[in-house]
Amino acid sequence: MSIINKFIHQHKRWLKVGCMLLVAVPVIVYGLLLFLSYRAAGIFNYVAEHRQLFPGTVTVERISATPWGRVSFENLVWKDPEGVLLAEIPSGEFQIKPWDVLLRRVGSRSVTSVRMEGAYLHLIFNEHMELTGFRPPGEPKQEQKKKKEPGFSMVGLKGERTFKCQVEFRGGTIEAEAPGNTKKSPRRHFVIGHTDLVGKINTRGKTHLNLSGGQFSGTVEAGAFYLSGELDFAPEVPTYDFFIKLADCNPESLDVGMKLKDVATVEGRLTGELPKPVFDGKIAFKELNLPALKFTEVTGGCHYEEGRFTAHEVGAKIFGGTVEAKGYFDLEEKAWGLILQGQNIRAGKAVRNAALKCRVTLNLQMEESRLRNTKLIRGDFQSGPGSYHLVPFNGLSGKFEQVGSGKDKKITFRDAVISLATGDVTTDAFSIENGKLNLGPIYLREGDESLRIR
């Protein structure tokens, strides 16, 4: 008998056991992996149907899962009880901790990462900027004790435990809105298209976000949007610390009555408490057109707080001169205002009359309120020496005021003076109303004597 045959004969029993294990182990492992994948998918189904977490209806076309807790899904749709669309996700996936898959135990710490492609998310906040939609209206924050679901345990879904998760959102749309209830918390509504978002969520510490998108619309419109920074959930009231940039921003979209077709770039830092954001940064226009005024190279600082956007230390060029200005938009009052001081402005270019040649100093104030249906423009001007149709003068000065708009517009000039070599031509007031010039008395003043010439 050969050595091999002798070994087989002596260890026949153990060799049979080994062969059986060689066949059984892969089958057992495959079965275990298949079992775990079904459990992972089962967790998704349970959470989606659990009305304490997702009130309304959640439907999904296809679900697949790996044994290690990676769940993929297609065509997920979530609507709230009133039928409002909250999420529509063509494809996505998330990772559940394998140990939770095995124990069939899901909680706030179970999901470690989420990825979505081409999705639509509708985020609705209350007046305190708390995210709604994950709890039926009127549902108390503390979950009442209920009978345990057979073979399943839910842990920390009401915020008792930290939620930490990596989020990746590619090529989708995010819509966000908060109703607001006072001037300190006005209604806000935004839609961000072509959005890419990468975030590291931590509901008990700092949440880091990087977001870029285009077609920014809603309370304010812009061609592109960028945000980077963090939300700190550690304080009792969470706080912002973000860098934000809006490109091709349209001020007219603020709906305060200021009709502008020019776009701006706004960038700066967003801080403050979650329901009371504060923004400080800078604003720039390549060109800014107001009634009868065309500004270029406009730059300045800006501030937003409690529904009011202000611009300060603004500088610009206009009609060959320069201006310094400040202004505001009030979202709650639907109003805007502007105060500017101009230096070395070419008068002929400003009034579109090349025959007038002189440099002017201008003070201007403009205000409009849509709620009160009021509009006011007032100011004063003073020039240095110049000429009109070759007739020299020492200077021009006066005050003006425009009240109303459209057919009700009335422009009044007061204390107008034309200083000539022979004396001053003055008038207390004249006005333009409905396109008609109404002249008051005109005087020729020489020293202390005045002669009425009209």
Residue 35: φ, ψ to 5°: -65, -45
- In degrees, rounded to 5, the angle at the alpha carbon of residue 115 between the alpha carbons of residues 165 and 143 is 45
- Confidence grade of residue 453 (pLDDT, cut at 50, 70, 90): low
What's the pLDDT at 350? 81
> Averaged over 44-64, what is the pLDDT?
66
Tokens of 137: 């209206």
Q: Which residue has the higher pLDDT, 347 or 422?
A: 347
User: 166-175, 301-310, 327-336, 403-412: lowest mean pLDDT where?
Assistant: 403-412
Q: Which amino acid is at 361?
A: T
- Confidence grade of residue 405 (pLDDT, cut at 50, 70, 90): low
What's the pLDDT at 33? 44
pLDDT score of 82 more than 90: no
| CA dist., res. 282 & res. 270, Å (int) | 12
User: 110-119, 120-129, 317-326: lowest mean pLDDT where?
Assistant: 120-129
> Averaged over 113-142, what is the pLDDT?
70
In what helix (H) or strand (E) does residue 393 lie, and over which residues does it extend?
Answer: strand 391-393
Nearest to 50 by CA among 146, 131, 117, 121: 146
Domain-wise residue ranges, the chain: 373-454
pLDDT score of 396 more than 90: no
What's the pLDDT at 155? 41
| CA dist., res. 404 & res. 434, Å (int) | 11
Q: Which residue has the higher pLDDT, 218 or 130?
A: 218
Which tens digits make up the pLDDT trace of 188-244?
A: 788 999 999 999 988 888 999 999 988 888 878 889 999 999 999 888 888 999 999
pLDDT score of 261 more than 50: yes
| CA dist., res. 66 & res. 101, Å (int) | 10
